[in-house]
Amino acid sequence: MKPLLLTGAQVITMAAGRPDVEAIDILIEGDRIAAIGEDLPSDGAEVADLRGRIVIPGLINAHLHTWQTALRGVGADWTLVDYLSNMHGGVAGRYAPEDMRIATFAGALNQINCGVTTLGDWCHNTQSPDHATQAVQGLVDARIRAVFMHGTSHSAADAPHPLSEIDALLNGPIRRHRLLALGMAIKGPQYSTPAVALADFRAANERGLVVSMHQSGGQPSPAWAAVRDARLIGPRTNIVHGADLSDEWLKTFVDAGASFTITPENELGQGHGIPITGRLLKLGSAPSLGTDADTVVSSEILLAARIAAAHQRGMDHLMQRQLTGAGAGKATITSKQVLSWATVEGARALGLSEDVGRLLPGMQADLAVVDATALNLWPAHDAVAAALHASIANIEAVMIAGQWRKRDHELLGVDLDEVADRLLSSGERLFQQLNKRGILAGLKRHVVRRVVGRRLAQQARR
């Protein structure tokens, strides 16, 4: 394969110590960046002229339940109780392995279309090993870089993570595909006993895996103290949401090197709690970003980034107004900071900082090309702001591991009509199950909702 020289673009490397925006070339050899700099020689290389474009590191969606893609939008008006009752207490059990595959395939393709090159696929509907294998196959079909976070359907607090399934994935499909890595999406201390939490953390650490868990809707349970006292919290610990954590606990996690992933649109809309963006920034840390669930919100990671920034800026203005009677005199968060949450911080959360999240020689050639000549961005006086405010329509091209996956605004190498038909077939069947009528179906929904509501109330009182 010939080297590829990208030239003419404004480049945002997101690398420490480099200018925010540079007029430089990028030389790609194989799956990695070979060189960056001004006027690189083009001898023997294919040249891509990207004048009028902005090149950024591939975006990273660090938390998405991709298996829910076929039910896109059905929960736009759901609260957290609605979501847990309808999805996990209801239709999740009706998924067949093939539903997992097509949802993951289509969801991952959509992420590429949005400029995402790396996905944290938090898959907690693995009712059987085949469900997990088919979900992984969906990622393989999409050819996206991903960390498959193997989770479990909602189960008893004393049920440990099925390590036989973890090892089967490590020794099978994950090992065979260079774009995939494995993580453990455990119930976590908030939803498990101390013994199970300790066992799950230790299992992840022994295998060198990122261990990710939800934490919201109340103070940490006693199981968290057991994990902390055993010194099992570290850089491979990823906490999703983190709402309602005390300042003391938040500092404990940050000091131990744990990462946080916030999903701001979903957190604000469903009632998880207030995004912890500003509290992390005060501790010298920063969040990574996810879009959470296509059933509820848009899956555009740049939209999540802008919501996170606008919300926190609003909170900062309110605090300053309460102190002085006037809003903040200057922006408390910069556009580059926000872009870093969807690149650098996403790579850190998924344990991939050495390979993705920045554009530097030796790193993977994962990048997105933003068409800054489009009417909604032109004139692009500030390339960082333009990149942050890009929409799907502006994502002209996407490269993963040195291979174009989107070019001239079109996904490559995929029959989108076939994908759409398969997704619709799966979604219609699941949607019927979700809205199944009858006395028994109604009674089940009522019971499940009461159980879920009681459990959330118990968590909130801790």
Closest CA relative to residue 341, chosen from 375, 389, 304: 304
Terminal-to-terminal C-alpha distance of the chain:
59
* Chain position carrying tokens 């502006």: 394
| pLDDT tens per residue, range 25-59 | 999 999 999 999 999 999 899 999 999 999 999 99
CATH node for 4-57+357-411: 2.30.40.10
Cα-to-chain-centroid distance, residue 370? 20
CATH 3.40.190.10 for the 59-349 domain, yes or no:
no
Q: What is the pLDDT of residue 173?
A: 87
Which phi-psi region, left, alpha or beta, contains residue 121 (left: φ > 0; alpha: ψ -120 to 50)? beta
Report if pTM > 0.85: yes
**How many CB atoms are located within 10 Å of the residue 314 CB?**
11
According to DSSP, residue 183 is labeled E
Closest CA relative to residue 109, chosen from 344, 398, 348, 306: 398
| Domain ranges across the chain | 4-57+357-411, 59-349
What are the CA-CA distances from residue 124 to residues 28, 168, 195, 266, 390 (Å)? 36, 17, 21, 17, 31
Tens of pLDDT along the chain (462 residues) come to 799 999 999 999 999 999 999 999 999 999 999 999 999 999 899 999 999 999 999 999 999 999 999 999 999 999 888 888 888 888 999 999 999 999 999 999 999 999 999 999 999 999 999 999 999 999 999 999 999 999 998 777 889 999 999 999 999 989 889 999 999 999 999 889 999 999 999 999 999 999 999 998 677 889 999 999 999 999 999 999 999 899 999 999 999 999 999 999 999 999 888 999 999 999 999 999 999 999 999 999 999 999 999 999 999 999 999 988 887 888 899 999 999 999 999 999 999 999 999 999 999 999 999 999 999 999 999 999 999 999 999 999 999 999 999 999 999 999 999 999 999 999 999 999 988 776 566 656 655 567 656 666 666 555
Asked whether the beta carbons of 40 and 83 are under 8 A apart, the reply is no
Pairing relation of β-strands 237-241 and 259-262?
A: parallel
Cα-to-chain-centroid distance, residue 146? 10
Token pair in block for residue 37: 């700099």
Q: What is the pLDDT of residue 329?
A: 84
- Rounded to whole angstroms, the Cα distance separating 410 from 397 reads 8
